[in-house]
Structure 1
Amino acid sequence: MTSPARMRPQHPPTHRLADVVETFALSPDRPLDAALVTTGVTVASTDVAPGDLFVAVPGMRVHGATYAAQAVDAGAVAVVTDAAGAELAGDLGVPVLVAPDPRDLAGPLAAHVLDEPARGLVTVGVTGTNGKTTTTYFVDAALRAAHRTTAVLGTVELRVGDEAVESPRTTVEAPALQGILALARERGAGAVAMEVSSHALALGRVRGLTFDVVGFTNLQRDHLDFHGDMEGYFRDKARLFAPEQARRGVVVVDDEWGRRLAATSPVPVETVATHVGDPHGADADWAVVAADIGLDGVGSTFTLRGPDGTEHAAASPLPGLVNVSNAALAIVLAHTAGVDLATAVDAVAHAHEIPGRMERVVERGDGLPLCLVDYAHTPDALVLALEAVRPITPGRLILVFGSDGDRDQGKRPIMGQIAARLADVLVVTDENPRSEDPAVIRAAILEGVRAERPSGTDVHEATSRAQAIRDALALATDQDTVIVTGKGHEPTQEIAGVFHRYNDRDVFLAAAAAHTPDHARAEQHA
């Protein structure tokens, strides 16, 4: 797989190191050679290209300066770090440039070295707990209708035009992000849509980039192991709406956090209410005033009222009220970013399938159930996913799910209760156990299941995720729906610190092929 950090411009600009040092008031440990130049920035020693500045930041376990010699061997012309890092690095034979906070500096430094690549692009950022990926793809569909080439960056992939690589995280490190923006500019892209995670905001990964428009979907329980509590989580999300980070915003005001953000945002915002009949819709700039949730499981139509009172017929290509919300937000974001409103409405309605987001893998029939893969991995997302699938399920709703290791432990029994309440048959299995004992994670989920369903009826446990999917298919008829949640598009499963190649979609297809001699339906999406 191509490293995201290797998605760089082929012809980067060149800057004299002495000028960079002066611009950012860095403190070199030696006199600088006037002829020394730099062409890039990275925080990963394994991704250094000749001419790079290596920014060594303190980590949770080890300081990046520990790898400074490796970076220099790979061609780094200087190391930027803090005082502690300079002590660790020692004499490297290249300038060591000291800054008080190298992590905070990495983004602006990379943007400067690459000649501010975002200035030539329309940039849209999306944050929130649930819906970031779907909304970003919807926005990209609208931007593609108005720009010859676009880029989309997020949890699933990093794509510039037709070139894409797997994404290592929702939002890449700041220098890698600036490199991708520079590549997009070099290839003639006109616009970029990207997901912005709360971790990225807290750790400065989008520093050095001021978005033209940013959007907020919702705030629900997640990542409390990192943010501490919901207040901390909200504060980090709200960083995206700071003047140095965004010029304008669009906020969904369906929950208290959205309403609070809209009321306190220091940048101008437009509000979107997406729950039909919600009294907050009367005060919102944009509001969904009617919705018809299609029973074919493919999509929904809705009416979006604009600020001037005009109503616009719109559609979401994905099922459920949650995707009406995502589509409405995407339309307003794209329009605010300069796309004609009618063009945005039409493009979102015809957006392509999004990997791992209500993805239809096996169609109902020939003895097989409808099989779906969805990324839902928070309590609220699980509710929305199951409520979206219930109306398109003639028989039983069968859920395969688990919960992540080394993450918020408190949500595990909550998700168990939700599953027991909203699904008919449960198969509890592993997600990404990471360093935790998978049995302990499953036990916490099952505790919540038993609180809601003491009898344990139609509750199964599987120690292998692939086996869990096979078990669910064996239990199902063609009137049932099997949905596997939690991993979505993810191409690996992390167990005891080891990443194994794994994808729910692939397992579904193989299990469906084994389930019936005539597996044409399963293969139609292969």
Structure 2
Amino acid sequence: MSGDAAALSIAQQDRVFRPHGVAGASVEELVAELTRTGYDPLVTPVGRAAGEIPLTGAAMDPKTVGPGDLFVAVAGSRAHGADFIATAMAAGAAAVLTDDAGADKIREIADYRIPVIQVTRVRDAAGPSAALIYGNSSTSGPALFGVTGTNGKTTTTYFLRSLLDAVLRRHGQSTGLIGTIEIAAGEATIPSKMTTPEAVQLHSLMALFRESGITAAAMEVSSHAISYQRTSGLFYNVAGFTNLTQDHLDLHGSMEKYFEAKAALFARSRTRSSVIIVDDAWGLRMADAATGHVVQLATSDEPAASADWVVTEVAAEPLGSSFTLMHRRTGETIRCRTGLPGRFNVSNAALAAVMVLTAQETAELRVPRQEVVSALEHADPFTISVPGRMQVIGTAPAAIVDFAHNPDAMIRTLEAAASTSQGKTILVIGAAGERDSAKRPLMGAIAVRMADHVIISDDDPHGEDPSQIRAGLLEGARAALDEEALDATLEEITPRLDAITRAVEVAEAEDTIILAGRGHEVHQDFAGTKHPIDDRIELARALRRRGFPTAPDAPVTAEAADAVSLSPSDSTAEGGHTA
């Protein structure tokens, strides 16, 4: 695993995921396991020679198949994996796991040259199959900490890993991370291709983590991953829930279906303990739906009566907040803090803390409780930089890049800005194409209600017309401006680089600039063509060109040296606010 890998292909990333040594399993053993667990497999050809074929890996993408692999052929949106059986066989696939439609295709193309294991629920069966091949079980390790919810998953997993690091490092143990931004094993990292990898890659990663001496890992678990069975066969020491707000309805169809997808993570069969934030009705419902050991956490000013842990004594600091965690039954109190701005980051930090406090000791994870408490009170584990999550790029004006890309996340981000800003709030937003379009007018309305100067630009249009996406945002913004007599400036500027430049042009030192929606991402997708742009770099560059100071860990640009000799008063760009 290499930390300097800026962009790996799918095949290269898969190679990095693979452990060096695999116990493996035979086709006969795999069929027996699938039979035992109720998948009712049909295997052809049948015979001793076929059954004894060893399987030493698993792959779902034909580009990633290697010698000895089980090729898992599933139906996709545009094609079936079975259509690529010739490619998989040429790469060394030893057997195929597929559904009825795939089996028919494979027998036609491949004849009976390799074993075909046919099941009805192939995506679901992929996880247990890979688990057998890579030697994973509910007790094999590493200890997994999974986080799901609409907003806050990434930050909470970074907080989790930081706290686990603070405790485990003193015992010579390392931690891992699986999420939207990166996958990490100890000090080594690679960029992520998706929030949660496919099941076959996750099980490969578990074996790699063990091989690398990783004791515990924090993992984002998206609703897509749960719906598409990417976490099948994994078992979590603790699973945490942040919140549920409108997003991904293009996949789930309704909030009820979205809730059901998230709730599947908190079944006793998948996790030992669940920690649920119960700040609203969705959280309370999730706590009721969860089975097994359930811990309720309240982080709002009016905590639910059923909460086990509550957040109290929240105090805003120049950057971040301090707060107290109190256990209602025992009376235990733990003083904590986070260096990230916003009340929602207090919630994220509290969730991470309670998840580690709730972790049950296993053979892989031995975390003395008092060491966790000491780390919370003295090691400041939640004062870390999370790429693209309320990441401070400039100081005067305050200039922040955040991943907020749905209505609730926008509200939280803008509330955080309002709590510290002395001047006006300047917001750049867009929306992704081919995603939940119903949220666009809502986001536009929220923007003009809560920001003083709103610049609507592009995010990732994908295959959709960018002007149509912007029109949805503008519709909501203009309606709110007209109907509510709001005093805000609204502009439409594209490309995004021009929008960023404009935001800095109109800013004064006491203002706050927020670039929302893209966070850590470094490309925009226009109809399949990637256009390089990193909000963090472009914001830092624009600030330095105007002579504004940047944060100590802001990206270095060509203007950094020149910025030393400039001050905000040297700028000639226009500022101020017009109604």
Residue of structure 2 aligned with 1:13, choices 18, 23, 32: 23
Tell me how far apart the structure 1 counterparts of residues 243 and 51 of structure 2 sit (CA, whole Å).
51
Tell me how far apart the structure 1 counterparts of residues 530 and 123 of structure 2 sit (CA, whole Å).
27
Which segment is superposed worse, 445-454 or 496-505? 496-505
Normalising by structure 2, we get a TM-score of: 0.86
State whether structure 2 residue 153 is matched by structure 1 residue 132: yes
Per-residue deviation, 1:286: 0.1
Residue of structure 1 aligned with 2:481, choices 431, 450, 453: 453
Query: Where do 5+ consecutive residues of structure 1 fail to align?
Result: none
SS for the counterpart of 2:219 is strand
State whether structure 2 residue 179 is matched by structure 1 residue 154: yes
Partner of 1:49: 66
Alignment of structure 1 residues 220-231 onto 2, 5 Å: 220-231=245-256
| Deviation by residue 1:239-260 (Cα, 9 ceiling, x = unmatched) | 0011221111000000101101
Residue of structure 2 aligned with 1:289, choices 312, 332, 335: 312
Change (3 A) 1:308 1:290: same
Partner of 1:507: 538
Partner of 1:379: 407
Partner of 1:96: 116
State whether structure 2 residue 388 is matched by structure 1 residue 356: yes
Per-residue deviation, 1:523: 7.5
State the AA in 2 paired with 1:356.
G
State the AA in 2 paired with 1:292.
A
Residue of structure 2 aligned with 1:72, choices 72, 89, 95: 89
Partner of 1:335: 357
Residue of structure 2 aligned with 1:305, choices 310, 326, 346: 326
Per-residue deviation, 1:515: 2.7
Tell me how far apart the structure 2 counterparts of residues 19 and 111 of structure 1 sit (CA, whole Å).
12
Partner of 1:425: 453
State the AA in 2 paired with 1:379.
P
Per-residue deviation, 1:23: 2.2
SS for the counterpart of 2:348 is helix
Partner of 1:251: 276
Tell me how far apart the structure 2 counterparts of residues 439 and 468 of structure 1 sit (CA, whole Å).
15
| Deviation by residue 1:99-125 (Cα, 9 ceiling, x = unmatched) | 122111011111110011662221110
Change (3 A) 1:351 1:54: farther
State whether structure 2 residue 261 is matched by structure 1 residue 236: yes
| Deviation by residue 1:137-160 (Cα, 9 ceiling, x = unmatched) | 111111112322111101111111
Residue of structure 2 aligned with 1:402, choices 430, 451, 455: 430
Tell me how far apart the structure 1 counterparts of residues 210 and 414 of structure 2 sit (CA, whole Å).
41
Per-residue deviation, 1:350: 4.3
Tell me how far apart the structure 2 counterparts of residues 495 and 187 of structure 1 sit (CA, whole Å).
39
State the AA in 1 paired with 2:376.
V
Per-residue deviation, 1:439: 0.6
Residue of structure 1 aligned with 2:525, choices 479, 494, 497: 494
Tell me how far apart the structure 2 counterparts of residues 61 and 428 of structure 1 sit (CA, whole Å).
32
Per-residue deviation, 1:433: 0.8
Partner of 1:323: 345
SS for the counterpart of 1:70 is helix
The 8 Å contact of residues 405 and 518 in structure 2, kept in 1 or not, is answered as yes
Partner of 2:299: 274
The 8 Å contact of residues 176 and 184 in structure 2, kept in 1 or not, is answered as yes
Tell me how far apart the structure 2 counterparts of residues 452 and 336 of structure 1 sit (CA, whole Å).
45
Per-residue deviation, 1:209: 0.6
State the AA in 2 paired with 1:285.
D
Tell me how far apart the structure 1 counterparts of residues 132 and 504 of structure 2 sit (CA, whole Å).
54
The 8 Å contact of residues 313 and 324 in structure 2, kept in 1 or not, is answered as yes
SS for the counterpart of 1:120 is coil
Alignment of structure 1 residues 99-118 onto 2, 5 Å: 99-116=119-136
Residue of structure 1 aligned with 2:236, choices 198, 211, 223: 211
Per-residue deviation, 1:486: 0.5
Tell me how far apart the structure 1 counterparts of residues 13 and 62 of structure 2 sit (CA, whole Å).
13
Per-residue deviation, 1:55: 0.3
State whether structure 2 residue 498 is matched by structure 1 residue 467: yes
Tell me how far apart the structure 2 counterparts of residues 336 and 507 of structure 1 sit (CA, whole Å).
41
Which segment is superposed worse, 196-205 or 6-15? 6-15
Report the identity percentage.
42
**Structural RMSD (CA):** 1.8
State the AA in 2 paired with 1:380.
D
The 8 Å contact of residues 107 and 208 in structure 1, kept in 2 or not, is answered as yes
Tell me how far apart the structure 2 counterparts of residues 416 and 440 of structure 1 sit (CA, whole Å).
14
Per-residue deviation, 1:69: 1.3
Alignment of structure 1 residues 411-422 onto 2, 5 Å: 411-422=439-450
Tell me how far apart the structure 1 counterparts of residues 31 and 381 of structure 2 sit (CA, whole Å).
49
The 8 Å contact of residues 397 and 423 in structure 1, kept in 2 or not, is answered as yes
The 8 Å contact of residues 373 and 505 in structure 1, kept in 2 or not, is answered as yes
Tell me how far apart the structure 2 counterparts of residues 290 and 283 of structure 1 sit (CA, whole Å).
19
State whether structure 2 residue 217 is matched by structure 1 residue 200: no
State the AA in 1 paired with 2:126.
A
The 8 Å contact of residues 25 and 132 in structure 2, kept in 1 or not, is answered as no
State the AA in 2 paired with 1:110.
A
Change (3 A) 1:395 1:254: same
Normalising by structure 1, we get a TM-score of: 0.95
State whether structure 2 residue 206 is matched by structure 1 residue 181: yes
Which segment is superposed worse, 488-497 or 437-446? 488-497
Matched pairs, number: 517
Residue of structure 1 aligned with 2:78, choices 53, 61, 64: 61
Tell me how far apart the structure 1 counterparts of residues 340 and 552 of structure 2 sit (CA, whole Å).
20
SS for the counterpart of 1:354 is coil
Change (3 A) 1:522 1:186: closer
